[in-house]
């Protein structure tokens, strides 16, 4: 049924705005708490070295055409040599990064702290929203939706005849959760602890996996064809000088 429900403006005053304000405040609170709980991480020398090796290998791939072919080849051998090349990781040794992460107590603690600082406020806020702000229509989404979203967006409303565009406050909570990220990066500067979505994406791909990236760099280097760009430069220099002298 496509009739327009008239929503009380009191809903806007007492539901939508306070919810957003509360979420912003909680975000700021989490930011400061995370700053207090920041433990200085001693970087592992092996990981630092591997990071630098990767940067150097990437530079080699990017600018390979600027150095003479002999130097490029010697560098390629240096990197991908079977015995002691920098990028070569023998198959057995490729450590399972998950196991490594759990065995290292510092890293495990850090991950737990980060997870907790994300999960607890989210859970609490969600429970609060459900308790106080359920059972009524909070807002109308401006575009039409299919019926499948009904269960997700209309959880407190038990009327099946209401249009799916009329949603409950739970969906407003989710909207704020993902949308306030931009606002936070404006207020708090980049690199704030409230960047949940980024963290959630990171959780699925388990952190820094050095052996895989080394292998990827090695493959990239192996297939690279060296085409020395310098002879072209002679012609270009000629053209430049011709223009200059004219």
Binding site for other proteins (CB under 8 A): 42-43, 45, 48-49, 52-53, 55-56, 59-60, 62-64, 66-68, 71, 230-231, 233-238, 240-245
Tell the smallest beta-carbon distance from residue 158 to other proteins (Å).
56
Main-chain phi, psi angles of 231, to 5 degrees? -55, -35
Dist. CA 206–CA 115, nearest whole Å: 13
Tell the smallest beta-carbon distance from residue 169 to other proteins (Å).
41
**Which residue lies nearer to other proteins by CB, 52 or 197?**
52
Alpha-carbon torsion 86, 92, 93, 96, what sign? positive
CA dihedral angle for residue 198, residue 199, residue 204, residue 210, rounded to 10 degrees? 100
**Which residue lies nearer to other proteins by CB, 66 or 206?**
66
**Which residue lies nearer to other proteins by CB, 58 or 181?**
58
Tell the smallest beta-carbon distance from residue 70 to other proteins (Å).
9
**Which residue lies nearer to other proteins by CB, 170 or 218?**
218
How is residue 245 written in tokens? Answer: 């002298």
Q: Residue 197 class from Cβ within 10 Å (0-12 exposed, 13-18 middle, 19+ buried)?
A: exposed
Tell the smallest beta-carbon distance from residue 236 to other proteins (Å).
5
How is residue 47 written in tokens? Answer: 């990981």
């Amino acid at each position: 049924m496509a009739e327009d429900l008239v929503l009380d403006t009191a809903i806007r005053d007492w539901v939508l705005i306070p919810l957003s304000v509360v979420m912003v405040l909680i975000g700021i609170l989490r930011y400061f708490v995370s700053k207090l709980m920041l433990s200085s991480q001693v970087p592992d020398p092996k990981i630092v070295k591997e990071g630098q090796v990767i940067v150097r290998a990437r530079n080699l791939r990017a600018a390979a055409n600027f150095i003479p072919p002999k130097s490029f080849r010697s560098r390629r051998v240096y990197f991908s040599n079977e015995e002691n090349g920098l990028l070569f990781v023998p198959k057995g040794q490729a450590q399972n990064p998950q196991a490594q992460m759990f065995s290292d107590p510092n890293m495990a603690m850090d991950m737990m702290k980060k997870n907790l600082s994300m999960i607890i406020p989210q859970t609490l806020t969600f429970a609060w929203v459900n308790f106080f702000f359920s059972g009524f229509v909070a807002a109308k989404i401006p575009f039409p939706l299919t019926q499948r979203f009904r269960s997700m967006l209309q959880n407190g409303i038990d009327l099946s005849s209401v249009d799916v565009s009329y949603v409950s406050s739970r969906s407003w909570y989710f909207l704020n959760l993902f949308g306030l990220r931009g606002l936070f990066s404006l207020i708090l500067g980049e690199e704030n602890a409230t960047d949940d979505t980024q963290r959630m994406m990171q959780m699925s791909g388990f952190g820094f996996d050095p052996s895989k990236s080394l292998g990827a760099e090695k493959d990239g280097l192996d297939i690279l064809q060296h085409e020395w760009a310098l002879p072209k430069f002679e012609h270009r220099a000629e053209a430049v000088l011709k223009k200059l002298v004219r």
